[in-house]
Amino acid sequence: MSTGYSSKVMEHFANPRNVGEIPDADGVGKVGNPVCGDIMNMYIKVKDGVITDAKFKTFGCGAAIATSSMATEMIKGKTIEEALKLTNEAVAEALGGLPKVKMHCSVLAEQAVRSAIDDYLRRTTGKGLEMKSDEELHEHEMAET
């Protein structure tokens, strides 16, 4: 039976990396998609402008868990600036692609990373990111369907 998921998606769903919370996190991002009901919480530790650790707790489908897992893997060891360049397309590509109907999961993963970084920046500099609204983030997704 084909699920439409790559083996990499299945691997990250079956054995997700970096699951859990960081109690003394430097930044916490919480995002959700009211349409599908997925909720992602992302936690980051930052030292000297570098993300030294990232963990997540996601309540959602396999694709949501896989994209959260991959996103945390992709930002660990990166500077804040580098992590902010992470796109949902890059997460999906790293997973070997996602079915079109599940691309919103990668958008959530990108949002969760940005939200955690925004929280970190607000705590340390008093100024956060200019966050895109859900509508802006989902615009390209809707254009593709």
Q: Distances in Å between the alpha carbon of 55 and those of 39, 41, 52, 72, 89?
A: 14, 8, 11, 6, 20
**pLDDT score for 35:** 79
Residue 4 — very low, low, confident or very high, per pLDDT cuts 50/70/90?
A: confident
- Residue boundaries of the structural domains of the chain: 7-144
Q: What is the mean pLDDT of residues 72-101?
A: 97
* pLDDT given for residue 102 in this prediction: 94
More confident residue, 98 or 136: 98
In degrees rounded to 5, what are phi and psi of residue 41? -115, 125
Q: What is the mean pLDDT of residues 120-133?
A: 86
| pLDDT surpassing 60 at residue 107 | yes
In this structure, which CATH number among 3.90.1010.10, 3.10.580.10, 1.10.1200.10, 3.40.50.720 belongs to the domain 7-144? 3.90.1010.10
Q: Is 6 exposed, middle or buried (0-12, 13-18, 19+ CB in 10 A)?
A: middle
Give the active site residue among 10, 36, 90, 94: 36
Confidence (pLDDT) at 34: 78
* Residue 102, Ramachandran bin (φ over 0: left; ψ between -120 and 50: alpha; else beta): alpha
Confidence of residue 144 (pLDDT cuts 50, 70, 90): very low
Exactly one of 105, 112, 116, 137 is catalytic; which is it?
105
In this prediction, residue 133 carries a pLDDT of 59
pLDDT in tens, 108-118: 999 999 999 99
What pLDDT score was predicted for residue 132?
62
61 a catalytic residue? no
CA dist., res. 133 & res. 110, Å (int): 13
Entry pTM: 0.88
Give me the pLDDT at residue 89, please: 97
